[in-house]
Homo-oligomer: A and B are copies of this chain.
Amino acid sequence: VSQLLKIGIAGLGSVGIATISCLQRQQEMLTARAGKRLELVAVSARDRERARGVDLSAYRWYDDPVALAQAEDLDVIIELIGGAEGKARATVTAALQRGTAVVTANKALLASHGLALAALTEQRQTPLLFEAAVAAGVPVIKTLREALTASRILSLRGIINGTCNDILSRMAVADCDFSAALHAAQAAGFAEADATQDIDGHDAAQKLSLLAMIAFGRKIDPAQIDRHGIRNLSRHDVIQAKRDGKIIRLVAAAQLKSDGVPQLRVAPEWLLPQDPLAQLQGPMNGLVIETELAGSLTLSGLGAGGDATATAVIADLVDLARNRHNLPFGMPVANLH
């Protein structure tokens, strides 16, 4: 058994930099927990010259992430490029083909190509971990996949898009319209310059499809999810909801029907204040899981941000170092209905 886990990181945005910073600062604690030194060896990004606030001089540099994924001395590639296609998909595929484990936060890639990638992980016996893909540091995937294996899951109901929750929180608190709240969220770093994926509900639908595949053991196409965004909510809607004692939130929900098929939906909902999801403010995420045997479980916490997401990335590295693998969807692809 090697005493090192040799790591390559593809993509040096806020999550990548937070991951590097954490690996640099917490070396001793992480070695005790992982049983191996988590050793960052190489990195890749588009622009080598950009100032990123961490010292990268000790790491091998690759302009091409696919070349990083094909490096012969790495045990694991962390893919933080993002997007369902292009370099992200090529990098993850190349690593798994080689037998190099992959940790990723890329929900778009997994929602579109998760089944094919899961089949590849089985064929190559190479782990693919993605706790960071949903709800940042809140372990929703680990909980569904490992803690609730004994019980049928009856429904999921969650706030899993921090951007929309931040915008809706701002509209209610600051009494402003959608575009002002969007701009404020962008200025605060909780929304990207192009927020389409978030505000139209695509991001929540992608994440919901992953959670539902794990929870219900079924193949789910995110494009088939009944999806409504928050773009058309007006200041008037929020004021009227307040008057009615309600709070508007973008809710992602999956409910098992009597035929065993889950029904999935992403849409704004008018919640009562005592609803656990109504109390989540700003970039908080939360998930309520109804089970057959263990009752109702609720998990909530910070659903966005570099440090919180890096926490999930590094938890996956420690699991990998300790050989705590899992199949991507908790069971072989052949068992998914």
Contact = CB atoms under 8 A, between A and B. Distances in A.
Determine how many copies of this chain the complex contains. Answer: 2
The listed residue with most B CB atoms (<10 A of its CB), out of A295, A324, A330, is: A295
A245 B76 CA distance: 53
A174 interface: no
A335 B143 contact: no
A20 interface: no
A274 to B, nearest CB: 8
B295 A301 contact: yes
A173 interface: no
Interface string A185-197: 0000000000000
Contact of A302 (B148, B295, B315): B295
Interface string A215-242: 0010000000000000000000000000
Nearest to A300: B298
Given A33-B331, A297-B299, A298-B300, A143 B139 contact: yes
A151 B307 CA distance: 9
Interface residues of A, number: 57
Interface in A269-315: 274, 276, 279, 291, 293-302, 305, 307-308, 310-315
Interface string A82-105: 000000000000000000000000
Given A146-B142, A146-B319, A150-B30, A137 B314 contact: no
A318 interface: yes
B26 A318 contact: no
Interface string A128-146: 0001000011110011001
A290 to B, nearest CB: 10
Given A137-B148, A137-B151, A146-B318, A296 B291 contact: no
A294 B147 contact: no
A310 B150 contact: yes
A149 interface: yes
Q: Which 3 A-B pairs have the closest CB atoms?
A: A137-B294, A150-B314, A295-B302
